[in-house]
Structure 1
Amino acid sequence: MKTETSIKKIAIVGPESTGKSTISAQLADYFQSVWVPEYAREYCAALTAPCTRQDEINMFRGQLELETQILPQANKILICDTTFITVKIWSDHMFGESPREVIDELPKHPYDLYLLMDINLPWQEDPLRDFPHMREHFMEVWHNELKALDATYYVISGSNKERLDNAIEKIDSFLARS
């Protein structure tokens, strides 16, 4: 039986419009496994009013639940299109602080490897994206959050093809050491 510790969790993270969902699907296909989509995307698409602190908590819980549901289908690795660290980052930015529940849970849900998508791809318009002018800021925030967690992470840059090749190389290298 698969256990959470036998599956390596790979988090694909970064600012808006950096290709996280695209590369998550490509990596899952390449490694013949599954990927966890970003729960917040569907949640926010269904909102009829501005996002609240409670919505952020709901997204945090939803992301964890989705990972738990998909984990048994994973083949050696589970690719996660973002993590609930995003809830912390957005809450800090939008509300000036993160929900205590999110802060308390962060160290309890580590990922084995984080791939931080660089901001060098062109911005793609999307009704759920808000800050094209703040990409550098959020890239720095991601670096700081990952360092605060003492996370193992790599920045993945380049064109779409180069990104995929770079991500595969980092995951292969990580798996060889594990």
Structure 2
Amino acid sequence: MKTVCLHGAESTGKSVLCERLLVTRGWPFVPEYGRTYCEENGIDLTMTDLLVIAEGQARHNRRALSDDDGAPVLLFDTDQLMTAAWAQMLFGEVPEALLAYPKADLYLLFEPDVPWQEDGTRFFGTDDTRTRFAALAEDMLVRSGVTFVRIAGTWAEREAKAVAAIEGVLG
């Protein structure tokens, strides 16, 4: 089974696309643990919170991989490289532990070129902060040497590009 991680700044359509690809393609996904954590614990995060979120996401990702249902691909709504971008954005540093987790076979890097949607758990809604956060997200991918494809454009274009990239990794 191949793994594909949707990666990028907040409010760029990652979670919505995961849900849509489950419905239209039958591709299962692991939801973003950080969202659940913030809904339960608030958004006044510390570095310790980010490390807990990273481990929680890893636990959910591992569980989904072990529950292999025969699907050709498993989508991760996020992973620890995105948590690393959060650490850099919030605290100006990245614990090496966040870079040491297993990596997905492919990353889809979502550009912040769609309208911001506030949902109560989001932080960086101004154009400047979205651009900065997006750059940090990309930097984590480059720093880790992983394969990634940029996803931008309208919602339909984003979906088409994502499907093409995923089908490409599936061969």
In the alignment, does 2:69 pair up with 1:76? no
Alignment-derived partner of residue 16 in structure 2: 22
Q: How far apart are the structure 1 equivalents of 2:125 and 2:63?
A: 33
1:56 to 28, 46, 50: 50
Cα separation, partners in 2 of 1:110 and 1:49, compared to 1, 3 Å: closer
**1:174 positional shift:** 2.1
In the alignment, does 2:157 pair up with 1:162? yes
SS at 1:132 equivalent: coil
1:39 to 33, 37, 61: 33
Superimposed CA distance per residue, residues 55-112 of structure 1 (whole angstroms, 9 cap, x where no aligned partner) = 1111011000001112224411100001111221111222222234323x24xx0110
Alignment-derived partner of residue 122 in structure 1: 115
Structure 2 length as normaliser, TM-score?
Answer: 0.90
Superimposed CA distance per residue, residues 140-165 of structure 1 (whole angstroms, 9 cap, x where no aligned partner) = 11221111111111111121122111
Map 1:140-151 onto structure 2 (within 5 A): 140-151=135-146
Q: How many residues align?
A: 167
Superimposed CA distance per residue, residues 119-139 of structure 1 (whole angstroms, 9 cap, x where no aligned partner) = 111011121111112111112
Superimposed CA distance per residue, residues 9-66 of structure 1 (whole angstroms, 9 cap, x where no aligned partner) = 0000100100110011122333323100000001011115721221111101100000
Please tell me the root mean square deviation across aligned C-alpha atoms, in Å: 1.6
Whether the 8 Å contact between 1:34 and 1:73 is mirrored in structure 2 is no
Matching residue's letter, 1:154: V
Structure 1 length as normaliser, TM-score?
Answer: 0.87
Whether the 8 Å contact between 1:27 and 1:79 is mirrored in structure 2 is no
For structure 1, the 5+ residue unaligned runs are 1-6
Matching residue's letter, 2:121: L
Residue identity over aligned pairs, in percent, reads: 31
Whether the 8 Å contact between 2:88 and 2:136 is mirrored in structure 1 is no
For structure 2, the 5+ residue unaligned runs are none
Q: How far apart are the structure 2 equivalents of 1:41 and 1:139?
A: 18
Whether the 8 Å contact between 2:6 and 2:109 is mirrored in structure 1 is yes
Whether the 8 Å contact between 1:9 and 1:80 is mirrored in structure 2 is yes
Whether the 8 Å contact between 1:115 and 1:153 is mirrored in structure 2 is yes
